[in-house]
Chain A
């Protein structure tokens, strides 16, 4: 799993290239992700990388930027 793949996934989900330019952007603050986006993110993570993240383990404060999401997924590989 490359970081680039994770960023590409986020571009698809957020429909915005800004996640490539600023990888510390707060996705929830900026309205790029919401609860619905989170579900799609979890489903995509499972289909693309075969990593299963329970919803209850998805804490917005810890998963709020592209960099943090990448780090969290790297932990779970």
Chain B
């Protein structure tokens, strides 16, 4: 069963969450019960396919052993080679999942959520390397984090130290009530976005676009309409899903970070990436771009620090592009965004010197307009309609 995919899923989780809510409202911890229902719900999500279940179990065991062994090792030593090997091992299954279908082997290995679990696992290894995760980790709690059912299929991508704090905190009855209400609120936002708005946009516009408009639109107009409608559809569908994930997490006492913060009101492309699929873009920012730039800056192979930053942007967006799938339109989508960010960065630095573009409500409005259109064109590339 796909999480949040149909009404049955919502009914099942509502029933299973009743004890969680009752415990929370009386100020008691529901941690053990939540771990128990996670197993039940994971079985419901993955149980329909034997292959998927076996893959998930083996994959999770692999990541658990890897994270815990690396942590044990790191308490004694800190070799760069071992660190690199641990990261490569953590990513390896995901690479297989992406590459095997190209070789015509797509039924061999692969399941819902493999990349989101990988993101969490890589993050744990990097933070362990940085010496930020030193306390002994319980295998069950770590598995609960990796497989936390509200976010297991498509995020948002939480961070261990944040998740751990929430997991160990027992909110007072009053605080829990607030969490519960905001959680329910998120879930209703999710219904509005995913099951009403995204559904309507899809069924009343997208299925007729770009080429089945009964001569009502020229082919060019059809593609333009498709570009905007597809962008709105992507937003409402994914922001709706993310709202469900955040809402259910809150009911379970975990404040999973939000994924979208009014992205279409971004004033420039950097602002956009702080508002769109935030947990993913922050992951790439912190664990790819920043690490790469810091590493290159320390090595001093390239003198010009802006060149290093631009290489970092290319690396980030190229990886983000191919992560969506090893197809040309995803690669071009990534490179297109790298180009947007670099152009904007150059403009921003130029403007710092020359001060030709003041900060006021007019430039703000123009900025929002340009960003919105540039971003929609990006989604048009992403959709695969262009080529």
Contacts and interface: CB of A to CB of B under 8 A. Distances in A.
Contact of A55 (B291, B309, B345): B291
Nearest to B127: A56
A5 interface: no
B98 to A, nearest CB: 26
A39 B297 contact: yes
A55 B132 contact: no
A31 B127 CA distance: 27
B132 A39 contact: no
Interface in A24-40: 31, 34-36, 38-40
Contacts of B285: 35
Contact of B132 (A36, A43, A56): A56
Main secondary structure of the interface of B (DSSP, over half): helix
B346 interface: no
B127 to A, nearest CB: 5
Interface in B284-310: 285-287, 289-291, 293-294, 297-298, 305, 309
B286 A56 contact: yes
A16 to B, nearest CB: 8
Contacts of B293: 35-36, 39
Contact of A57 (B130, B305, B348): B130
Given A34-B270, A55-B286, A56-B286, A39 B130 contact: no
B126 interface: yes
B130 A56 contact: yes
Contacts, number: 38
Nearest to A34: B270
A55 B294 contact: yes
Given A54-B132, A56-B126, A40 B352 contact: no
A40 B294 CA distance: 8
A15 interface: yes
Classify chain A: how many residues form its interface, as a range. 10 to 19
Contacts of A55: 130, 286, 290-291, 294
B131 interface: yes
B70 to A, nearest CB: 15
B305 A40 contact: yes
Contact of A35 (B131, B132, B289, B348): B289
Interface in A13-29: 15
Contacts of B294: 39, 42-43, 55
A42 B290 CA distance: 11
A56 B285 CA distance: 11
A54 B130 contact: yes
B341 to A, nearest CB: 10
A49 to B, nearest CB: 17
B349 to A, nearest CB: 9
B306 to A, nearest CB: 8
A39 B309 CA distance: 10
Contacts of B352: 15
Interface string A37-54: 011101100000000001
A11 to B, nearest CB: 14
A35 B290 contact: yes
A36 B309 contact: yes
A57 B132 contact: yes
A34 B268 CA distance: 13
> Which 6 residue pairs of A and B lie closest in terms of their CB atoms, listed nearest first?
A54-B130, A56-B130, A36-B309, A39-B293, A56-B127, A55-B290
27 contacts: A15-B352, A35-B285, A35-B290, A36-B309, A36-B345, A38-B290, A39-B290, A39-B297, A40-B297, A40-B305, A42-B294, A43-B297, A43-B298, A54-B130, A54-B131, A55-B130, A55-B290, A55-B291, A55-B294, A56-B126, A56-B127, A56-B130, A56-B132, A56-B286, A56-B287, A57-B130, A57-B132
Given A36-B312, A43-B298, A57-B132, 8 more contacts: A36-B293, A40-B297, A43-B294, A54-B131, A55-B130, A55-B290, A56-B287, A57-B130
